[in-house]
Structure 1
Amino acid sequence: VTIYAVVVLLGLRLEQGACQHYLHIRPAPSDNLPLVDLIEHPDPIFDPKEKDLNETLLRNLMGGHFDPNFMAVSLPEDRLRGGGPRYFYDGLQPGKKHRLSKKLRRKLQMWLWSQTFCPVLYTWNDLGSRFWPRYVKVGSCYSKRSCSVPEGMVCKPAKSVHLTILRWRCQRRGGQRCTWIPIQYPIISECKCSC
């Protein structure tokens, strides 16, 4: 019986060990956003040269993945998006029953919505010269106030989308060879009020 138990336990351990993240070959996937900044080798020898930044060729390499709403070759004018309507009504006396008109009820609903709304705030992020397009619009959740009534909950990322951008990658095998490779870059697309 003990030999049988040892064989079963060893079998389970081997089965678990077969997964890549147990072998530490690559990190386990994570949904944590925003991304941690990538640490780049500071030597400019690894930067793309002027001939490697041909916009026509790079757009062709990206295919149909270039989205001008979220990508830019040069720094665009920064526009804050998000927010929502701000309606307040303080004409109601506490403790009294009120029959609300349709208009007042709508104003109250809009005020409540404005207090619990979780907008995605977009800003342009400079990824550096080793990415093309260099500027990507990234989202963050508004967190300067509570999003619940009563207070206590905050806006947190709920959904993300992936943009395909190009990354300049250099390898030193057999001399230095550099090329643009497509990568997936996640950005926050929706925020939700949660604990």
Structure 2
Amino acid sequence: MRNLIKSSDGTLYMQLWENRIRVTDIESGKIFDEVPLVAIRKGKRRSKRVAIGSRASSAASSEVEVINPFSHPRSLLAHFKAAELLLEGIFQKLSGDGLFSSPANLVLQPMEKNRGGLTEVEVSAFQALGLSAGARRVYVYQGPQLTRHTLDLDKVRDASAPVAASGADEPRSWTQWIWIAIWFILIAAMTIFQQF
């Protein structure tokens, strides 16, 4: 049973584009670098991940929907639940064994659609995404591109926005949840209005 749920003390570095996601395990050097697609089978009670990355596109059917959760004209995070399922799959793939692995630290760096810097709402949404996918602490990093050898977690903590540095060890204030909810409502409204 112990191998089914594995908690890692390591750090994952995630670089995020609309059409690419690259996640590097800093300790092992393993890399997931593919298109950010997730194939989801809708269930009565919950959705189930069928495939991720390039394999997801071939899993499309009448019962399975393929989603790029980071594809939106103005924002990098468009579909929270699909993004969560994608990240869970990536964490599992990088861990190699066990059904699910949660990294101690996730350094998440949006690589585009961040001109002028991310808003506090965007930072909170990315942090909530990483935490809901299983990471214990999430740092939304805005700075020069890092590598496995140049990532210094102390410097990342200092360079990350204060909201992102709070991590799972501190309770969330109700105002952060309100801002996250407002952000998702705005994204949903924009998506609906674009269809008309």
- TM over 0.5, yes or no? no
Structure with the bigger percentage of helix: 2
TM value normalised by structure 2: 0.20
Structure with the bigger percentage of strand: 1
TM value normalised by structure 1: 0.20
